[in-house]
Amino acid sequence: MPDLDDPTATFKVFDGDADGYITREEFVRAMNSRGEEVTAAELDSIFKVSDEHDGDVDGRISFAEFLVAWNK
Ligand SMILES: [Ca+2]
Ligand SMILES: [Ca+2]
């Protein structure tokens, strides 16, 4: 289990294919593997808040966007 206080380690866990972006599918998979349920509405709000920070709104969360959400 990675140190959950370390955003770099946590990002790597969520970014299942290690392409530098977390997709909705990867996010759900990572949460499920921790035994956490994520509803579609929760996913929408998480991605809406995080994804807009670098202005691309590409439906994926980059590490920079992840850090913004993390530090909130
Ligand atoms: Ca990925
Ligand atoms: Ca984005």
Q: Mean pLDDT across the stretch 50-67?
A: 85
More confident of the two residues 38 and 53:
38
What distance in angstroms lies between residue 60's CA and the mean position of ligand 2's atoms?
A: 5
Q: Within a domain: residue 2?
A: no
User: In angstroms, rounded to a whole number, what is the distance separating the alpha carbons of residues 58 and 50?
Assistant: 11
- Tens of pLDDT, residues 4-50: 678 999 999 999 999 999 999 999 999 999 999 999 999 998 888 88
Q: Mean pLDDT across the stretch 50-72?
A: 83
User: In angstroms, rounded to a whole number, what is the distance separating the alpha carbons of residues 71 and 37?
Assistant: 22
* Phi/psi at 21 (5° precision): -135, 145
Note the ligand closest to the C-alpha atom of 24: 1
Q: Within a domain: residue 35?
A: yes
For residue 23, the model assigns a pLDDT of: 95
Domain that holds residue 65: 7-70
Contacts of 26 (CB under 8 A, 6+ apart): 14, 15, 16, 17
Specify the CATH number for the domain of residue 25: 1.10.238.10
What distance in angstroms lies between residue 35's CA and the mean position of ligand 2's atoms?
A: 26
For residue 57, the model assigns a pLDDT of: 85
What distance in angstroms lies between residue 72's CA and the mean position of ligand 1's atoms?
A: 22
User: In angstroms, rounded to a whole number, what is the distance separating the alpha carbons of residues 4 and 53?
Assistant: 22
